Amino acid sequence: MSNATSNNSPSGINPPRSPFFKGGSQPPPRLSPPFGKGGRGGISKPKPPKTLPPLTAEELAELPELREGWIWIRLGDIFTDNPKNGIYKSAENYGSGFSIIRIDDFYDGVLCRTSGFKKIKLSTDEIRTFTAHVGDILINRVNSIEYLGKCCEIRGLSEPIVFESNIMKITLVANLTYFPHSL
């Protein structure tokens, strides 16, 4: 008894491939909106996170005592917007163009340099979307465990700059005193 179909694949497992995939000349199907430029493929835009209530007296009682003038708050309460991942571009886009911060450009809470960053070709929209501004916090979101979560504050740059996809940016409320290496 055989479950094989005429193309020698078990019934219901591998449907026949189109001639394009067998070396034929049929082009692949075109992606129509919403998969076209900037489409989300039917995936809805993420909703902003729910606002959490202030810390309760019970939660505060479980936390260590702080220096005078310091307060405990939820990290999300100091963001002006949701965290944002950086831009990904393939290797052929590197070499000239706009400056980009990569994960090896910061350590122990500070940028390792203020100029001389790698360069990347970007559109005007990409520059606008992925520029890091003075006061923004960059957080390493991938890598080995000892580097995961390392962060730095953007300051002292000699040029405008974007940040790579392995990095997440948060913009904090103004007039906030904090220590970025301990966020």
Q: Is the pLDDT of residue 129 over 90?
A: yes
DSSP 8-state symbol, 144 = S
Report percent pLDDT > 70 for the chain: 68
Give me the half-sphere count of Cα atoms (radius 13 Å) on the Cβ side of residue 103. 19
Any domain includes 64? no
**pTM of the predicted structure, to 2 decimals:** 0.63
Any domain includes 145? yes
SS3 content of the chain, % helix, strand, coil (to 5): 15, 20, 60
What tokens appear for 22 in the block? 């067998």
Give the pLDDT confidence score for residue 55 in this predicted structure. 85
* Contact by Cβ (8 Å): 109, 144: no
Domain boundaries, position 161 = 81-182
Per the structure, the count of domains in the chain is 1
Q: What is the CATH number of the domain that holds 93?
A: 3.90.220.20
Any domain includes 13? no
* Token pair 């409320």: residue: 173
Q: Minimal CA–CA distance to 83: which of 127, 137, 43?
A: 137
CA dihedral for 82, 85, 151, 147, sign (positive or negative): positive
Any domain includes 20? no
Residues whose CB falls within 8 Å of the CB of residue 121, separated by 6 or more in sequence, listed in order: 89, 93, 94, 95, 96, 97, 98
Give the pLDDT confidence score for residue 166 in this predicted structure. 95
Any domain includes 119? yes
* Contact by Cβ (8 Å): 136, 169: yes
Residues whose CB falls within 8 Å of the CB of residue 31, separated by 6 or more in sequence, listed in order: 39
What tokens appear for 10 in the block? 């078990």
Give the pLDDT confidence score for residue 75 in this predicted structure. 78
Q: How far apart are CA 154 and CA 121, in angstroms?
A: 21
Residues whose CB falls within 8 Å of the CB of residue 65, separated by 6 or more in sequence, listed in order: none
Any domain includes 65? no
Any domain includes 7? no
Q: Is the pLDDT of residue 2 over 50?
A: no
Any domain includes 89? yes
The 10s digit of each residue's pLDDT in 17-55 is: 444 444 445 544 444 444 444 555 555 666 666 777 888
Over the range 62-90, which residues count as b (16 or more CB within 10 Å of their CB) and which as e? Answer: eeeeeeeeeeeeeeeeeeeeeeeebbebe
